[in-house]
């Protein structure tokens, strides 16, 4: 994957010991590492029933959304947003991972068998999704889901 090396460096930069993080990715049979949120990025986590349509909306308006994770079974989708977003987020039904929390992050350059995978891997440049655009995309996706469900 092009940019995997810079993506690894970008993600590992938030770890207490970045080199140890890189080694963990290489040695962990699940291909995952535990990283602290709230330093370079926060993660907003939504049910994938809303997450996938939200990503579709974002992909129509942005050339490159920030990194997006999905868990095993496609139950939850996590959008990487600027650090500090979690403390300001007011939306209901959205879990936040910010300062003081840790998340499981798969290796960005390959397949992970650790129950979590990238829908959009980081590119190493630090691109994150603008929380205002994410909120608008969530509203549009939720409205479309309501119509599909016969509620609108």
Cβ atoms < 10 Å from Cβ of 22: 17
Name the pTM for this structure. 0.92
Q: Is the pLDDT of residue 112 over 50?
A: yes
The pLDDT tens digits of the residues spanning 52-71 come to: 999 999 999 888 899 999 99
Which of 60-64, 97-101, 114-118, 147-151 has the largest mean confidence? 97-101
- pLDDT for 110 equals 66
Among positive and negative, which fits the CA dihedral 125, 5, 48, 86? Answer: negative
Give the C-alpha separation, 65 to 80, whole Å. Answer: 9
The pLDDT tens digits of the residues spanning 20-31 come to: 998 888 787 788
- pLDDT for 149 equals 74
- pLDDT for 1 equals 47
* Cα 132 versus chain centre, distance: 16
Cβ atoms < 10 Å from Cβ of 91: 13
Residue 152: which pLDDT band, with cuts at 50, 70 and 90?
low
Residue 3: which pLDDT band, with cuts at 50, 70 and 90?
confident
Q: Lowest mean pLDDT: which of 10-24, 51-65, 97-111, 124-138?
A: 97-111
Distances (CA, A) of 82 to 20, 39, 73, 74, 130: 24, 9, 26, 24, 7
Give the phi and the psi of residue 79 in degrees, each rounded to 5: -100, 125
């Amino acid at each position: 994957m092009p940019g995997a090396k810079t993506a690894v460096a970008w993600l590992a930069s938030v770890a207490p010991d970045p080199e140890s993080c890189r080694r963990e990715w290489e040695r962990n049979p699940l291909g995952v590492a535990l990283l602290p949120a709230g330093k370079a990025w926060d993660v907003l986590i939504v049910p994938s029933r809303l997450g996938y349509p939200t990503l579709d909306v974002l992909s129509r308006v942005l050339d490159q959304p920030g990194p997006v994770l999905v868990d095993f079974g496609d139950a939850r989708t996590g959008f990487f947003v600027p650090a500090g977003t979690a403390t300001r987020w007011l939306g209901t039904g959205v879990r936040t991972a910010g300062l003081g929390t840790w998340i499981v992050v798969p290796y960005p350059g390959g397949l992970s068998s650790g129950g979590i995978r990238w829908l959009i891997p980081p590119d190493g440049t630090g691109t994150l999704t603008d929380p205002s655009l994410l909120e608008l995309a969530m509203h549009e996706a939720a409205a479309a889901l309501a119509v599909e469900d016969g509620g609108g």
